[in-house]
Structure formats: structure tokens, C-alpha cells
Amino acid sequence: DIQMTQSPSTLSASVGDRVTITCRASQSINWWLAWYQQKPGKAPKLLIYKASSLESGVPSRFSGSVSGTEFTLTISSLQPDDFATYYCQQYNTYSRTFGGGTKVEV
């Protein structure tokens, strides 16, 4: 099974900061990686698919990139609404896998 290692698990940041979250796959997943944002008590929301494609309606301050098996979610200028938990997920195989999550807090 493909393992997804996400880091850091917690990130302290301030409004206006540039934030970077990393997800490493245990083997090649090509570009089949998605990023989600989840707020307490709510279902996750798709932000990025196929490593770098921005989901419709998602602010352009969110971006995704890839280098080999390392994937990165970047928030260019953190906004108050962005304090949440972020998850990566691979969908290269039919059995999907999520990363452990990164909580972005003040």
C-alpha cells in the first residue's frame, strides 16, 4: 500500500505569512495527489487536484507543486479563513490514502 507522510503535523503562523505543507509518497504516484482543507465539524473541501490544478472557486493564494514523490501545498499569504487542517491524498491506486494532516494555527 502507498503511504503518505505529511509534515509538519502542526504549523503556527500569522496572517500574511507564506505557508508550506509537504506530503511525501512512499512510491511514485505520478501526479495523482489532491489537497483538502477541513474546518472543525465540517466535511473536507477539495482545494487542489492532480498535484497542481486549482479547484473552481478556491482562492489563487493556494497552489500545489511536485518534485518526484514530494508534493507541496503553498498558501502565499495566509488569511484568517485559512486557519484549518489540511490533508493530502493519493489516488494513483484504487485504494486511496490520506496523509496524517497539518493543523495550521495562530
Partner 1 sequence: EVQLVESGGGLVQPGGSLRLSCAASAFTFSSYWMSWVRQAPGKGLEWVANINLDGSAKYYGDSVKGRFTISRDNAKNSVFLQMNSLRAEDTAVYYCARDWSGNDRTFDYWGQGTLVTVSS
User: Could you list the residues that contact partner 1 (CB under 8 A)?
Assistant: 1, 32, 34, 36, 38, 43-46, 49-50, 53, 55, 85, 87, 89, 91, 94-101
- Of residues 17 and 46, the one with the C-beta less far from partner 1: 46
Residues sharing a CB contact under 8 Å with residue 68, sequence separation 6 or more, in sequence order: none
- Of residues 18 and 50, the one with the C-beta less far from partner 1: 50
The arrangement of strands across the sheet holding 70-75 comes to: 4-7, 19-25, 70-75, 62-67
- Of residues 69 and 102, the one with the C-beta less far from partner 1: 102
Tell me the closest approach of the beta carbon of residue 87 to partner 1, in angstroms. 5
Tell me the closest approach of the beta carbon of residue 89 to partner 1, in angstroms. 7
Tell me the closest approach of the beta carbon of residue 34 to partner 1, in angstroms. 5
Q: What is the rounded distance in angstroms from the CA atom of residue 15 to the CA atom of residue 47?
A: 19
